Chain A
Amino acid sequence: MLSLDSINRAETLRYMGFGEGIPDSHFTERINAMEKELIKTAVPRFVWKSEPLVSDEDILSAGGIILAGNDIRAHLEGCTHVVFMAATLSIQTDMLISRTQTRNIGDAHILDALAGAGIEQICGKAEFLIKEQFPEKYMTWRYSAGYGDFPIELQSELAAYLDAQRKIGLTVTETSLMIPKKSVTAVIGIADKPLPQKRSGCTSCNMRDICNFRRNGVHCGNA
């Protein structure tokens, strides 16, 4: 089982909208206190499964799931298999953030950003463990539904395929929102040969025109 530890502070500050600012000691103390709360409360979990990648004429699929869109096709170029994964910080984390809002909205805002950085940490750890299962292989970075033209509606299909509600307590609403909120589903490509270093940045992202990170002169962590 995975556990959350010391959370990336720079990423947390960025999620909070701290821009180039440097928090003072009072503020740092608050973040430290909230970080402790989050680590105590969150019950991180992940689940994954690998499937051979099937390319049938124009249709790319794995495990019966159709991987639609040009971006995912480019992302998986040169891959033989994919890993489907889902990870979550648990509903206890949602509950903590929601309850903290009633006590102190500022603390809740800090927690929300910490949890955002926290789920990235968990995904990184999960990815590391998955990688160990494929010692001789090469892996792409995580690609999620909603990136580029990879349809967000795939979220619920991935969750169903991974039996994510039963395995890690992850549900997807009819509007493709994940609950618990601090959750991720992703596709990782597996290849026999080294993969070309693709920039996992804004140039390949269809969200680039409406992205708040970009507007504020930063990016979302995959660059």
Chain B
Amino acid sequence: MLKKLIEEKGYIRLDGGTGTMLQKNGMPAGAVPEVYNITEPERIIAVNRAYAQAGADIICANTFGANRLKMKKTGYSPDELIRAGVRNAKKAAEGTNALVALDIGPIGQLLEPLGTLTFEEAYDIFREEIIAGEEADVITIETMTDLYETKAALLAAKENSNKPVLVTMTFEESGRTFTGCSAAAMAMTLEGLGADAIGINCSLGPKELYPVAEEICRWTNLPVIVKPNAGLPDPVTGEFSVKPKEFAEALAEMTGIGVRIFGGCCGTTPEHMRALYEKLDSIAILPLQEKDIPAAVCSASSVVTITEPRMIGERINPTGKKRFQQALRENDISYVLSQAIEQTDAGADILDVNAGMPGIDEKEMMVRLVKAIQSVTDVPLQLDSTKPEVLEAALRVYNGKPVVNSVNGEQASLNAILPLCKKYGAAVVGLTLDENGIPDKAKGRFKIAEKILTAAENAGIPKRDVYIDCLTLTVSAEQSGAQETLKALNRVKTELGLKTVLGVSNISFGLPNREAVNRTFLTMALQQGLDLPILNPNITSMAEAVRAYKVLTALDKNSVSYIEWYGSAQPAKAAQQTESKTPDLGYAMEHGLAEECGKITETLLADHEPMDIVNNMLIPALDKAGALFEQGKIFLPQLILTAGAAQAAFGVIKEKLASSQDAPVSKGKIVLATVKGDVHDIGKNIVKVLLENYGFTVIDLGKDVPPETIVNAAIENNVPLVGLSALMTTTLDAMRDTIVLLSEKYPECRTMVGGAVLTPEYAKQIKADYYAKDAKQAVDIAKEIIG
């Protein structure tokens, strides 16, 4: 529908501001515009009609904020407000050709991980709006700043209607939204998810938005929308600065970069629109040419182009890793996160995420891991599973454009996986194997690659999003195999023009000095055209090979990146060592040197039993810090730094214990949570680290946790103690409710409470068993109860 309109007229006319028009016409500050749909429909119709009569092709119904959270206090349901809003707009459009858009704005609450709304709740809120707006002709989603929320809205629109969807987000002059989403990430994610047109609205005037519009146009072949404000309002008078003529001229400039859908946002009026349409009608607008878009994937804030070799980190995978398996079994997500951060710091460009192991619910774990990992790193993810239902669950909650690992040449696999990649806009790894296994020769693998490409294109996946894996076989088993892999890789790259991916570590299985074989094979593969090596970036020599390769092939211009990585590393390290001479564990802990603590512990493990280090070094050092703290000789922040450093040492010890299959020693389990409605979790996390240091197993339920969840976790794990944190006066009620429910359902469990606004008196009043004034006291309480 949109494309047809553009073909006919060269461009599409949207309308201008609604809220600012209503205010101008006497709507008092603080009034809810959507309620006017029912109470004062004639005012709404008048604004809608002014735009329809000015010549808009699409007018937006007054439904922007009509979601169930924002409308809660109005006494009206989103359904009645939206139906009335669409009806009003339809009435206003009578006698014109204007189509009516169901207009959807942000929910008004921030989504996870930093906000309180889950992705699934957001989807449900939008779904309700989409269904209520069924009488509209198109859907506009606008003024979005969070890509995750935008994805929830767009998915809800695509899954609950057949209307064209126009999506715009609000960018600042920096080219990013408030939440850090870049124009490129926005474009590739929303195009992938099936938006019909994408672009920008609100925030700035037309001139300031030009560079952002240009960037979006570079990354999409969809029609691009621009709806600027009429400049900025004066904080005293409320007047907007950009007048109709200036507005029209600045927007008309954007036809040159490929913008084809025009309208206005705050402060724009029917006069602005009339001037705009007149101006656009007076210039020649050429049909858009399809352009080449670089292969790339992204998170919400970081785009990785596959225009040079990029490293995919392979460590988030339980296969063959005991410590990792233990972490998944025990729901120890923080271990997985440390793996994500370690690889990111080592320079991984993309992280592979695999949650498949016997005995756990892979789908549920995959969703948890994807949500948790994307909260700690900006690096795009590669979702790794053989099960379509696991992949689909992960694709839904991923924020950005991911890679799917993988599809293969089997028809069943192609049929199941490719439609998912198409629907969610993911790139896909194609393995060159099929019903008959892995072909011995390069020719056979190349044929499968061709088959995968054809199937992907038939499924509507662009060629640039198909990455082929020609499969590494163990060289000690089949020595000529390495050459066949490389041959196939080269042909896929040069003859099919596809990006290539390859796990390199398998090559050396069964050989001594595996690293040398891996590194050499990696270098050979890069030379044959490998784009995406899957490897362990923490192994220095592997990452070095990739970086050196980019220098030698002039991909790393002036060796800038190489020098950044290695230029100052050696001297800095030397300086550090001379400064601290021969640091012992106690010294490193006392001064909060986490990295040192980890390294010293590793060294100590060579001739000490892990538990000896814990009992004879770590715990005494912690006790010493605790005693100094109580004597007022050191202060809370120093105690916390010491605890953080000890945490690094414990990490190394746990790894060792897991690999030697010694049962990890736990003093007992404790449930910790920040209560419902509260998002302040740093205090709770400090308590967690200290408790773990002292050997307690902490079941960390996170923040904003409802009473039922806390009580259920306490019962399920049969814990003797629950710790609750709240920072705000407004959330103390939730703390009390939790204690009431706990004493009802699980009376033998003790509670301790803490947080900035709590006092011993209040703790007593809400019948908490213990009040912990700080993290140290929380440990003392745990020791008293559990031992």
Q: What is the interface of chain A, defined by CB distance below 8 A to chain B?
A: 16-19, 21, 23, 26-27, 30, 43, 47-50, 63-65, 90-92, 94-95, 97-99, 101-110, 112-113, 133, 146, 152, 157, 160-161, 165-166, 168-169, 171, 173-177, 179-181, 210, 212, 215
Other CB < 8 Å A-B pairs besides A17-B774, A176-B728, 14 of them?
Answer: A18-B636, A19-B635, A26-B592, A27-B641, A90-B178, A91-B179, A98-B375, A102-B341, A103-B341, A109-B640, A168-B178, A173-B677, A177-B730, A181-B680
14 contacts between A and B (CB under 8 A): A16-B635, A21-B635, A27-B641, A63-B30, A101-B681, A102-B338, A104-B648, A106-B643, A108-B682, A110-B637, A168-B178, A173-B116, A179-B116, A181-B679
Please tell me if the beta carbons of A99 and B376 are within 8 angstroms of each other in the complex: yes
Please tell me if the beta carbons of A165 and B635 are within 8 angstroms of each other in the complex: no
Chain B interface residue count: which class?
35 or more
Q: Is B787 an interface residue (CB 8 A)?
A: no
Instruction: Point out which of B115, B756, B757 has the most chain A C-beta atoms below 10 A from its C-beta.
Output: B115
CB of A147, distance to nearest CB on chain B (Å): 12
Tell me which of A18, A26, A48, A105 contacts B235 (CB under 8 A). A48
Q: Is B638 an interface residue (CB 8 A)?
A: yes
Q: Is B145 an interface residue (CB 8 A)?
A: yes
Pairs A-B, 3 closest by C-beta atoms? A169-B178, A106-B641, A175-B677
Q: How far does the alpha carbon of A146 sit from the alpha carbon of B203 in the complex, in Å?
A: 30
Please tell me if the beta carbons of A30 and B375 are within 8 angstroms of each other in the complex: no
Using A27-B637, A171-B110, A177-B678 as known contacts, say yes or no to A108 and B30 having CB atoms under 8 A apart. no
Please tell me if the beta carbons of B114 and A165 are within 8 angstroms of each other in the complex: no
Q: How far does the alpha carbon of A181 sit from the alpha carbon of B682 in the complex, in Å?
A: 12
Contacts of A106 in B (CB 8 A): 592, 594, 637, 640-645
Tell me which of A91, A152, A179 contacts B729 (CB under 8 A). A152
Q: What is the interface of chain B, defined by CB distance below 8 A to chain A?
A: 28-30, 69, 106, 108-110, 113-116, 143, 145, 170, 174, 178-180, 202-203, 235-236, 334, 337-338, 341, 375-377, 591-594, 632, 634-638, 640-645, 647-648, 677-682, 685-686, 689, 728-731, 734, 756-757, 759, 762, 774
Using A48-B235, A161-B30, A177-B730 as known contacts, say yes or no to A18 and B637 having CB atoms under 8 A apart. yes
Q: How far does the alpha carbon of A180 sit from the alpha carbon of B617 in the complex, in Å?
A: 40
Using A21-B634, A48-B235, A166-B170 as known contacts, say yes or no to A107 and B178 having CB atoms under 8 A apart. no
Contacts of A176 in B (CB 8 A): 728, 730
Please tell me if the beta carbons of A179 and B682 are within 8 angstroms of each other in the complex: no
CB of A220, distance to nearest CB on chain B (Å): 11
Please tell me if the beta carbons of A97 and B682 are within 8 angstroms of each other in the complex: yes
CB of B65, distance to nearest CB on chain A (Å): 10
Q: How far does the alpha carbon of A159 sit from the alpha carbon of B145 in the complex, in Å?
A: 17
Contacts of A174 in B (CB 8 A): 69, 109, 677
Please tell me if the beta carbons of B641 and A179 are within 8 angstroms of each other in the complex: no
Please tell me if the beta carbons of B179 and A169 are within 8 angstroms of each other in the complex: yes
Q: How far does the alpha carbon of A95 sit from the alpha carbon of B643 in the complex, in Å?
A: 22
Please tell me if the beta carbons of B341 and A210 are within 8 angstroms of each other in the complex: no
Please tell me if the beta carbons of A107 and B644 are within 8 angstroms of each other in the complex: yes
Please tell me if the beta carbons of B202 and A98 are within 8 angstroms of each other in the complex: no
CB of B421, distance to nearest CB on chain A (Å): 29
Contacts of A90 in B (CB 8 A): 178
